[in-house]
Amino acid sequence: MNLSAPSFPIFLVSIILAILAALTVYARVKIPFISGHGFATLGISYLLLLAGNMFKGL
């Protein structure tokens, strides 16, 4: 299996989602569509980063 570095936009979106998930869980910040789903948001962030690593050019 050949892995590649994710593109910068994929990496940036993944980091932003992870930060938003952490803010909603630990700082109790209310963000629509994310506040009730912190773990799912973090999982989506990880899967997005994983897809960026597995598929070249993504």
- Answer yes or no: is pLDDT of 1 > 80: no
Residue 20: both structure tokens together: 């938003």
Region 8-16: mean pLDDT is 95
- Answer yes or no: is pLDDT of 3 > 80: yes
Can you give the pLDDT at residue 26? 93
What is the share, in percent, of the chain residues with pLDDT greater than 90? 79
Region 19-24: mean pLDDT is 94
DSSP 55: S
What is the share, in percent, of the chain residues with pLDDT greater than 70? 98
**What is the enclosing helix (H) or strand (E) of 48?**
helix 38-54
